[in-house]
Amino acid sequence: MTTPSIDAHVRLDVHPTHSSAVTATLTGPQAHIPQLGLEAADWHVVADNALVLVRIDHEEPHWAQDAARQLAADGIAVEITPELRTAIDEEWTWANYPMPWCTRTEIRDVSNEAQKIYDDIRHGHLRIHAHAQDGHTTVAVGTYLSGGKSVYLHGENHLRQIADTFDSPGKSLVAFEKIHGDAMRPGPAPLTDTERAAAEARTSLGNPAVESVAQSREPETVPAYAADAGDHDVLLEAFLGAHGDWQKWRTWSDETTHAIHEDQTLRIERIHHGPAHETAWTVAAYETPVSDRMWVLTATGATPAPVVQELLHYLGYSDTWDTANGTPVDEKTVTAATQPLTDAGWKHTVDGRWIRWTSPAADAGIRFDAFAAQQPHQYPATWTLWAGPDPERPTWTITASPYTPSTLLADLSQTLAHETGTRLRPFHTGQRRTSLGTTPPAVPTTITGPATCRTR
């Protein structure tokens, strides 16, 4: 029986800015039919009739070919560009793969299971309760919301695996704490560089500069205040997935998400898709659900991911959301809020109403307005955190009102002064993986995590 023809055309191509992602451009009166099929296979809509496939195991060309076969079998015309065909036909393996006895097919099976775990976390099906560093990798414990099975996860990205299972969240947490003790941290681990890059590729197709068409981007370690913003929406979803005491809703226009704590005295407003220099986050605290606002903090869209993560971490695990019911800011409050900067040797200056702390490289700082602190209703932005060429031309800013908790400001100061993050820089795609036509580098003979493929 001949498969009926569908009036649609799918063009598959390499992503312009992500080294392994694949794009799909749909045309024709019945383009909605292949779109539904691709979305079911976890392709993401990035524009009208445009989708992207992004994976943390960099196996997009393989799965794009699989999708092409299925589309063709359904009677849909499929075009694969020469560039993507080259990527599909490329024979490669991971450099320094920790399980060198696995065949290429087995390696793909391992990474596909890791992809499923990643997708379950990202879509909120698997809630992560805690994580820890275990040597050079990350371990975590979480529970599947459907079925209630708790799991112990070992590894990152394409090597993450389920190493053990438990009957309940309580048993899993007890076992996890027994093994990892002081290294244990609540909630999911920070996004890896690979996860950040994947999140960026899912948002738009981008327009790479001519000189960088043949390049991808690799991360470099920088101070937290100079790190990339990453995907703030992913950070918010991870936060809400880890904290069931918060509820959210998205406005009818799909431009804003509101999250409210169960006691209704702490609220988050997240504006999506706005300019990077404009306010993207507003956090406000109230003495009671119907009282006036106690304090408010705002952050622009370009605020680095480590800084946003620290803010959300504080909101998720601190119970000191207000300050002594309106007690004016005093010297003790200011000192407590900025002690990490002093300890790190940031330059401290006083200029009239302004008190400033500036990084040694003069590319970040915190400014306190003593005059505004005494008139909170007229000047809500008493504190300003910034980074960039100079305070008047910042890359990003956070502003906070007078009664913002000094503990929150101290946590943010700690992040600016002592923490690091990642920033993407160009590099050639050949550094990511090793062609099977070349001599691969030496690989370790010991396993760094549980193996699911056959042993020697």
- 58 and 153 assigned to the same domain: no
Residues 95/434, Cβ–Cβ less than 8 Å: yes
Domain end among 189, 208, 223: 189
Domain for residue 99, yes or no? no
Domain for residue 50, yes or no? yes
Rounded Cα gap, residues 363 and 391, in angstroms = 8
Domain for residue 166, yes or no? yes
How crowded is residue 278: how many other Cβ atoms within 10 Å of its Cβ?
11
Domain for residue 225, yes or no? no
- 237 and 386 assigned to the same domain: yes
- 28 and 156 assigned to the same domain: no
In whole angstroms, how far apart are CA 47 and each of 204, 207, 454?
A: 7, 14, 42
Is the pTM for the entire model greater than 0.85? no
- Take residue 107 and report the two structure tokens written for it: 């390696």
Q: Could you read off the pLDDT tens digit of each residue along the chain, which spans 456 residues? A: 444 578 899 999 999 888 789 999 999 999 999 999 999 898 999 888 899 999 999 999 999 999 999 998 888 999 999 889 888 888 777 777 888 888 888 999 999 999 999 999 988 899 999 999 888 889 999 999 988 899 999 999 999 999 999 999 999 999 999 999 888 888 888 888 888 888 888 876 765 433 333 344 467 889 999 999 888 988 998 899 888 899 988 765 568 899 999 888 899 999 987 788 889 999 999 888 888 888 899 999 999 999 999 999 999 986 655 444 445 678 888 999 999 999 999 999 998 889 999 999 999 999 999 888 887 666 568 999 999 888 888 999 999 998 899 999 999 999 999 999 988 754 333 334 444 433 333 333 222 334 456 443
Range of the domain at 41: 9-93
Residues 151/166, Cβ–Cβ less than 8 Å: yes
For residues 444, 446, 451, 454, the Cα torsion angle rounded to the nearest 10 degrees is 90
Tell me, what's the pLDDT at 186? 87
- 165 and 69 assigned to the same domain: no
Radius of gyration for the alpha carbons in the chain, expressed in angstroms and rounded: 24
Q: Nearest 5 degrees, angle CA 109-CA 159-CA 57?
A: 65
Listed in order, strand segments (DSSP E) in 227-305 are 246-250, 256-261, 266-271, 279-286, 293-300
Nearest to 355 by CA among 322, 320, 329, 321: 329
- 161 and 27 assigned to the same domain: no
Domain for residue 331, yes or no? yes
CA dihedral (27, 31, 37, 40) positive or negative = positive
Tell me, what's the pLDDT at 367? 95
How many independent structural domains does the chain possess? 3
Tell me, what's the pLDDT at 254? 65
Domain for residue 222, yes or no? no
**What CATH number is associated with residue 16?**
3.30.780
